[in-house]
Amino acid sequence: MNRSQTLKKIRRKVKIWDVIIIGGGATGLGIAVDAASRGYKTLLLEQSDFSKGTSSRSTKLVHGGVRYLQQGDIGLVFEALKERGLMFKNAPHLVTNQSFIIPSYEWWGTSFYTVGLKLYDMMAGKLGLGTSMMLSREETIEALPTVQQAGLRGGTIYHDGQFDDARMAISLALTCVDYGGSVLNYCKVTGLIREKEMVAGVTAVDQISGEEFSISAKVVVNATGVFVDDIIKMDDPQAPDTTIPSQGIHLVLGKEFLPNKSAVMVPNTSDGRVMFAVPWHNHIVVGTTDTLVSDRLLEPVALDEEVSFLLTTAGQYLAKQPQKEDVLSVFAGLRPLAKPEEDGRSTKEISRSHRIILSLSGLITITGGKWTTYRKMAEDVVEKVIVMGGLPDRECITDHMPIHGFRMDLDPTTDPMAPYGLDKENILALEEDMPEVQGFLSEKLQIRKSQVIWAVREEMAMTVEDVLARRTRALFLDARESIRLAPEVAELMANELKLDDAWKASQVKEFNEVAAGYLIA
């Protein structure tokens, strides 16, 4: 992942790309990996940083979706369970097997959920992650010592996957590059180029230098999440909206709220949704909400009522009621939900399946979907790219294709460096060559100084925020700690990139402004 080399390729203009993908979230990166691995000349453009949008703000589950089973969306559950299994096999350094317990307070709860989850296990078939089982009250308390015990009758244990979404995104970008594709962050698409009424490329602006580009391609894919309608309107200003944004927030709490390995799943909150409390990087992520919003922002902010709802609901299932001051970080993300044909359906009822829209101009747009199903979404899109671009037909190989860094012997639940996979040793080796980056940047969050250097050299990190929010997860885990780290990260980056004091000062200021949105006042 080398920004200046990619810029050179774009400037040279000799290479007409087979496909340009707009958007560097789960969807776009998945498509870039699929297209590059089939040998097509692939370029991905992201206006901000990779996974800056929704893809760094998920609940971090690689799941079939117990809720979709409740809703009867069997097709989506089958597809997601298969993809869960493939993701687990192809990226064992990034995805772990996570046990979930549904605590039951009704007499019928344990048997009801156990039967449903046995069906979930059966649907996963050979790609299952473990058998669901009924737990007695005592077994539930043993597995979840901090669960609310008053009225508890028992529980059901089941298994799903868990991952680090932003690290997965970077690993996909690296995989794309491993296969000869090109990815570029901070490059915003500003328009579509047309030839004889057909889309034949994009105009784009480097957000760092201001340089403008005109880039030709046989096919252009719009994978911009909640922003897909902006691109569709570049193609056809009269086109109706295809998506609606729905906000989901998460609170991050200290490990003491759920000290054991299992996560908690609440199948029916007071607003009729599910809620999770999941161990993640030695913290607990609690979420989520489903709030229809009108603004499509890159940096959405949690609403007070969403925070209160999660604190209250978590308190009903945990022995200790979490308070606002216990929240280490709060983050919000927007779901690019496919707009339903009929009006009046609540957001929680809208299917999370993906939808591909083919415009008469040849523009391919993909909306909806899940992180878990990114690979299948990409396969479906690239099949369309082949037809639209008249490309030589080549088979998809991503179902059994290892993700960059593939390594089986690292456990992401105990090793903070596990998500780097094979790169872990290279990062640690930096510390031998550069004594000044030996040791921890944050012992509390187990982040090493060498990770900052690696992020700049190998992972296209351009800003302090890139490092603290997405190459490491400091901002998402503990906003205050990340604010404390920002000046040192700026210093390390400035030394590496030969940048001056003014750059450092503006970076720290910009980071602090963003981080303020992750703090609860």
Task: Identify which of residues 234 and 485 has a Cβ nearer to ligand FAD in the complex.
Answer: 234
As a whole number of angstroms, the distance between CA 496 and CA 489 comes to 11
Task: Identify which of residues 309 and 441 has a Cβ nearer to ligand FAD in the complex.
Answer: 309
User: How near is the Cβ of 504 to ligand FAD at its closest, in Å?
Assistant: 25
For residue 161, state whether it binds ligand FAD (rule: CB under 6 A): no
Collect all residues with Cβ–Cβ distance below 8 Å to 330 and sequence separation of at least 6.
Answer: 249, 250, 251, 252, 302, 307, 479, 518, 519, 520
Handedness of CA 220, 223, 228, 230 (dihedral sign): negative
Task: Identify which of residues 1 and 441 has a Cβ nearer to ligand FAD in the complex.
Answer: 1
As a whole number of angstroms, the distance between CA 293 and CA 301 comes to 11
As a whole number of angstroms, the distance between CA 285 and CA 304 comes to 18
Here's the x/- map for ligand FAD, 235-254, by CB under 6 A: it reads as -------------x------
User: How near is the Cβ of 507 to ligand FAD at its closest, in Å?
Assistant: 19
Beta bridge mates, 249: 332
**Binding region for ligand FAD (CB under 6 A) out of 41-49, 193-201, 395-403, 473-481:** 41-49
Which 3 state secondary structure label does DSSP give 195?
A: strand
User: How near is the Cβ of 416 to ligand FAD at its closest, in Å?
Assistant: 20
What residues from 284 to 323 belong to the interface with ligand FAD (CB under 6 A)? Answer: 288, 298
Q: Which of 21, 223, 385, 474 binds ligand FAD (CB under 6 A)?
A: 223
List the one residue out of 349, 389, 318 whose CA is nearest residue 20.
Answer: 389
For residue 227, state whether it binds ligand FAD (rule: CB under 6 A): yes
Phi-psi region of 180 (alpha: psi -120 to 50; beta: other; left: phi over 0): left
Distances from the Cα of 426 to the Cαs of 28, 261, 327, 331, 422, in angstroms? Answer: 28, 30, 34, 31, 8
For residue 416, state whether it binds ligand FAD (rule: CB under 6 A): no
As a whole number of angstroms, the distance between CA 210 and CA 228 comes to 23
Task: Identify which of residues 37 and 347 has a Cβ nearer to ligand FAD in the complex.
Answer: 347
What residues from 114 to 143 belong to the interface with ligand FAD (CB under 6 A)? Answer: none
Handedness of CA 280, 286, 292, 295 (dihedral sign): negative
What residues from 361 to 380 belong to the interface with ligand FAD (CB under 6 A)? Answer: 369-372
For residue 184, state whether it binds ligand FAD (rule: CB under 6 A): no
Question: What is the DSSP secondary-structure string of 297-331?
Answer: -SS----HHHHHHHHHHHHHHBSS---GGG-SEEE
Please check whether residue 499 is in contact with residue 493, taking contact to mean a CB–CB distance below 8 angstroms: yes
**Binding region for ligand FAD (CB under 6 A) out of 23-31, 100-108, 130-138, 150-158:** 23-31
Beta bridge mates, 202: 192, 215
- Residue the block writes with tokens 């993700």: 403
List the one residue out of 172, 183, 342, 336 whose CA is nearest residue 248.
Answer: 336
Task: Identify which of residues 57 and 404 has a Cβ nearer to ligand FAD in the complex.
Answer: 57
User: How near is the Cβ of 501 to ligand FAD at its closest, in Å?
Assistant: 29
Please check whether residue 134 is in contact with residue 156, taking contact to mean a CB–CB distance below 8 angstroms: yes
Task: Identify which of residues 83 and 478 has a Cβ nearer to ligand FAD in the complex.
Answer: 83
User: How near is the Cβ of 433 to ligand FAD at its closest, in Å?
Assistant: 33
Q: Which of 38, 41, 52, 375 binds ligand FAD (CB under 6 A)?
A: 52
User: How near is the Cβ of 323 to ligand FAD at its closest, in Å?
Assistant: 22
**Binding region for ligand FAD (CB under 6 A) out of 26-34, 427-435, 454-462, 507-515:** 26-34
For residue 61, state whether it binds ligand FAD (rule: CB under 6 A): yes
User: How near is the Cβ of 110 to ligand FAD at its closest, in Å?
Assistant: 25
* Binding residues for ligand FAD, total number by CB under 6 A: 39
Q: Which of 6, 7, 19, 53 binds ligand FAD (CB under 6 A)?
A: 53
User: How near is the Cβ of 379 to ligand FAD at its closest, in Å?
Assistant: 15
Q: Which of 25, 181, 412, 421 binds ligand FAD (CB under 6 A)?
A: 25
For residue 154, state whether it binds ligand FAD (rule: CB under 6 A): no
For residue 333, state whether it binds ligand FAD (rule: CB under 6 A): yes
Q: Which of 9, 67, 153, 188 binds ligand FAD (CB under 6 A)?
A: 188
Q: Which of 28, 103, 109, 181 binds ligand FAD (CB under 6 A)?
A: 28
As a whole number of angstroms, the distance between CA 120 and CA 132 comes to 9
Give the phi and the psi of residue 211 in degrees, each rounded to 5.
Answer: -65, 140
**Binding region for ligand FAD (CB under 6 A) out of 12-20, 56-64, 106-114, 487-495:** 56-64
Task: Identify which of residues 25 and 405 has a Cβ nearer to ligand FAD in the complex.
Answer: 25
Report angle CA 87, 92, 95 to the nearest 5 degrees. Answer: 65
For residue 201, state whether it binds ligand FAD (rule: CB under 6 A): no
As a whole number of angstroms, the distance between CA 320 and CA 126 comes to 39
User: How near is the Cβ of 368 to ligand FAD at its closest, in Å?
Assistant: 7
**Binding region for ligand FAD (CB under 6 A) out of 44-52, 176-184, 206-214, 471-479:** 44-52
List the one residue out of 364, 361, 365 whose CA is nearest residue 194.
Answer: 361
- Burial environment of residue 435 by CB neighbours within 10 A (0 to 12, 13 to 18, 19 or more): exposed
Collect all residues with Cβ–Cβ distance below 8 Å to 226 and sequence separation of at least 6.
Answer: 53, 54, 243, 245, 296, 334, 335, 336
For residue 46, state whether it binds ligand FAD (rule: CB under 6 A): yes
Query: Using CB under 6 A as the criterion, which residues of the chain lie in contact with ligand FAD when the complex forms?
Result: 22-28, 45-48, 51-55, 57-61, 188-189, 223-227, 248, 288, 298, 333-336, 369-372
